[in-house]
Amino acid sequence: MLELYPQIKAVHVGAVAISGALFAIRGALVIARRRRLATSAPVRYASYAVDTVLLAAAVMLVAILPPAMFANQWLVAKLALVVVYVALGIVAMRRGSPAFYVAALAAYLAIVGIALAHHPLGWLRGAA
């Protein structure tokens, strides 16, 4: 299965980008008081579908990669931030709160930084 790593990773990265863009657009619509459009069935179902693909690809990557790949705890930091991101995103979407929306986007960017650096400090790794 390791031979499929490049394809699975490409699907995962693409789903990350689409999921983040969908959240950014939906959150901006909610804040702009366009909740009906942001929460319409086609938009919600598209978001669910992308997030399902994202999660499935992530699980497959974890299953096929050697355990040494995760030795520096970057995956634990990333997963912890995913929980934070989801919680902040739920609050932002339900309340239409710009503060929670910005915090969720910051968590998303931190997750991306950790994933790219394969280090718990993510974007801050070079500054440390």
Least confident among 9-13, 25-29, 65-69, 85-89: 65-69
Q: Are residues 60 and 72 in the same domain?
A: no
Confidence of residue 127 (pLDDT cuts 50, 70, 90): low
Instruction: Please give the structure tokens belonging to residue 30.
Output: 């909610």
| Cβ burial, residue 43 (10 Å; 0-12/13-18/19+) | middle
Q: Are residues 17 and 31 in the same domain?
A: yes
- State the total domains in the chain: 2
Q: Are residues 76 and 56 in the same domain?
A: no
Domain that holds residue 31: 1-65
Per residue in 76-120, pLDDT (tens digit) is 899 999 999 999 999 999 999 999 999 999 999 999 999 999 899
Give 40-73 as a DSSP string: -HHHHHHHHHHHHHHHHHHHHHHHHS-GGGGTTS
pTM of the model: 0.88
Q: Are residues 36 and 83 in the same domain?
A: no
